[in-house]
């Protein structure tokens, strides 16, 4: 796609990072009170989320916070929480 969210023509990220100064689809900037540097937030958040998703994919575990994993464990009846590996003892 594009290297940065604000480079995608249909993304509101350009508006939220002040490129351009107006966007006909976005009515206000009230969310800017929560996050002041959207460019940094979008860059860091994507990298962190991508790393977490890759780790989950490699290990076969669900990607999400503790509450999500607990809910998925309850729904599936399987322990999806990360546990220490068991020691294998040769007989």
pLDDT (tens digit, 9 = 90+) per residue, 1-53?
Answer: 778 877 888 777 777 787 777 777 777 666 555 556 777 777 766 666 777 88
Question: Residue 17: what pLDDT?
Answer: 80
> What global pTM score does this model have?
0.42
For tokens 């998925």, the residue is 72
Question: Residue 88: what pLDDT?
Answer: 65
Question: Residue 77: what pLDDT?
Answer: 94
Q: What is the CA 89 to chain-centroid distance, rounded?
A: 39
pLDDT (tens digit, 9 = 90+) per residue, 59-91?
Answer: 888 888 889 889 989 999 998 888 777 776 776
Neighbours of 27 (CB within 10 A): 7
Alpha helices in the chain (DSSP H): 13-16, 38-59, 66-76
């Amino acid at each position: 796609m594009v290297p940065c969210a604000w480079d995608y023509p249909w993304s509101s990220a350009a508006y939220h990072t002040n490129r351009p100064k107006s966007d006909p689809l976005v009515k206000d900037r009230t969310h800017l009170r929560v996050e002041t540097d959207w460019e940094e937030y979008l860059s860091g958040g994507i990298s962190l989320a991508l790393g977490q998703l890759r780790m989950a994919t490699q290990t076969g575990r669900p990607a999400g916070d503790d509450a999500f994993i607990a809910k998925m464990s309850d729904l599936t009846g399987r322990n999806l929480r990360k546990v220490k590996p068991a020691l294998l003892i040769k007989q």
